[in-house]
Structure 1
Amino acid sequence: MTVASIVLAVLLALGFLPLGVLKALAVAAMSRRAEHFGYSVPAFRGIGALEIAGALGVLGGIVWSPLGAAAGIGLALLMIGAVFTHVKVGDGVSEYAPSIGVGVLALAYVVTVFGTPLTLQEF
């Protein structure tokens, strides 16, 4: 694991963990966001659970890089879904640009993880 991988993992966790918790708890602001996107509150809670799992997964990737790589790919896919959702409801670029930025950050993390040679001991 490189220093870049660790820094990116921490940044991703700091970004996704709090938002995932807020979604999972269905706080009022997140319930309004769910309604804006046309999602049920339970579906939005599920997205929050995926964000929490991804955040914990990239942190776990510091110890076991295959877990981090899988989590990073999952977070990038979530952000692709977020962009499509924003576009579907007619949000402007300023609304979905953060999702693009964080998705690129997740992909950069995955690249740094895959840039580190894996050994059989890591599997």
Structure 2
Amino acid sequence: MNLAFLTVTCATVLANAGIAAADLAKAPFVLANAAAVGVPPRRLPPLALLKAAGAAGLLLGLLGVRPLGIAAGTGLVLFYVGAVAAHVRARVWRTIAFPVLFLALAVAALALAAAR
């Protein structure tokens, strides 16, 4: 298995699992960021489940179910494009680095999975 694919995919899985857990726990930084971009707290659990599903799909892709990994990577890329767009729309520049970082991880994981 390619070391870059393994490393980037594991980092993406861990990052998304971690932020999904923070979303579900309604961590104070999550609530503050969501409020800043106009996301109501009741929307956090469904968004967390999307992130967790993306992480699980990437993990399954890592374990050999390549189409599921590619689909999960695509879903995460689309999710984080939306998150970056929400930050831009709300003009919240202070925390835009976080969705950009998650987007970069998702793009890298997807590109490496598709290249295999």
TM-score > 0.5, shorter chain as reference: yes
TM-score when scaled to structure 1?
A: 0.82
Q: Matches of 1:62 and 1:22 in 2, distance apart?
A: 24
Question: What is the CA deviation profile of residues 97-122 of structure 1, one whole-angstrom value per residue up to 9, with x for unaligned ones?
Answer: 33223312211211211112xxxxxx
Superposition RMSD in Å? 1.7
- Aligned AA for 2:43? A
Q: Please show how residues 1-123 of structure 1 align to structure 2 within 5 Å.
A: 1-63=1-63, 64-92=65-93, 94-116=94-116
Question: What is the CA deviation profile of residues 6-55 of structure 1, one whole-angstrom value per residue up to 9, with x for unaligned ones?
Answer: 21110001111111111122233322322222112121221111111111
Bigger Rg, structure 1 or 2: 1
TM-score when scaled to structure 2?
A: 0.86
The answer for unaligned runs of 5 or more in structure 1 is: 117-123
The answer for unaligned runs of 5 or more in structure 2 is: none
Q: Matches of 1:13 and 1:67 in 2, distance apart?
A: 14
Do the aligned partners of 2:70 and 2:114 also contact (CA within 8 Å) in 1?
Answer: yes
Q: Matches of 2:52 and 2:11 in 1, distance apart?
A: 13
Q: What percentage of residue pairs aligned between the two structures are identical?
A: 26
Q: Matches of 1:18 and 1:73 in 2, distance apart?
A: 19
- Aligned AA for 1:39? V
Q: Which moved more, 1:10-19 or 1:35-44?
A: 35-44
